[in-house]
Structure 1
């Protein structure tokens, strides 16, 4: 029998106590004959599952034995369903899996877990946009990652594309842009999914290091990218009432130095170039004051002169 059906059958028996082959068949969406063979295989394998003859019989875990495969506490179960609940609107398979997980929980956990599953909705679309959809290749790449199969694709922009063959290790969705972290002949690399074309899953087994951790790998990518984006720093004086707004806008690229007299705060804004800093701050008008470097001040003056030239009638 398949390992996933074995686990599902045991969890189902744990929640119901005694089951019939017909009930298992309905729950796991298999034939009654298949369910009966699975139950017999469990018993033959030494698991304390035995048939009970007579009216109201069926199959049961001997002596009321429990097979707690999850080991979840009540708070852990609630946390799990808070996480899974928002995903349940995505695909029918996800909704089905959520229902089965809920039924597999001990009865005392189910009410709170079910409430947690319906407590949060995640709407990734911005105001004025249609529903955000993952790029078409994402599902195909997910299959390659899970099944550990190498992937071949064209990568680049426009006509400047090269054919790549990689070991897919994991996918990341960052602000509606998908990335693939993969192993190549030159080591770990990160690819934007929207720059891939002609994706092909090939039959070769993909190698993934035993110590690879996707969270750690992505954190390192983010740190490296942010390091490159923060090559220039500008000192800016911000009125205290506007400080929170500026920090929210600039994120990690706004570092507070401290308050100064006059109800203002000195901060440092970072970006790759003077023009990029000036473009980000120009919309604030005279509310902010850039004290240094002169290159950013010059860019602000140039932008201001261009706006005056265009709109001064």
Structure 2
């Protein structure tokens, strides 16, 4: 993952006075073009990396290969951890590297550097997302700064009805989902998310954020996103699925699928969510090879109706001649 590579490059620069793109490429088993792009990304983000041109040139870390990273300023340390440590992409190996790097920082930088590493997540897999890098909205930098410094803010916000309000919030993290950015914050009425492109003003109060000791941004976002998905798809269809059909259901329904335990006959209990009985029945009708829908009754009724309509339409060819008998399915019909 790119975050792992960026951290590895910084650690490599710590231990060597200078590296070339070719050396980085060999060490990390990537192309030289990718190595140059990653080195440029570190410099663009504010990490003190610079290139030396000419024969014998390469890339260096400002201040030399310092194991204590004392050549970093506070803002540079924060920039490094913002690049290398988005919470959604931190692997166990990278977490260990981040912990070591935090300990190597000068004492005044440690808290904010660690906060920067966990201040945002990227959610590219959710519905409506895209592979394109989200364009930073206005006030993103101010909000990220408040998250890292742990400072409450007075937030101006325009809702869907274009009504503008102002409230004091405790910013906890930033989430990038497809083209949109969100602020996760605690408020007087509980935990809320705010689309950052609807933020109209940000005014730091100077008061400290009350951050729960067990708060994890990635876990909190998953819970928020799951709750939103449940509100979008309140209808639940229960079914029994053949074990070899679970993969098909996962591809077809994604987060709308919940997989339960196995039954005595070896099938697996599943719940599939939707927001309309007939549409959900239509989605399930083609899965008769794998599932038996057990409820609710209205979804089963729609499935029977769809099945009868299909048999009536396709049991004869367009000229009225009887076609071959329908094949026997391996699953159990709904």
Greater share of helix: 1
Compute the TM-score of the two structures, normalised by the length of structure 1: 0.48
Larger radius of gyration: 1
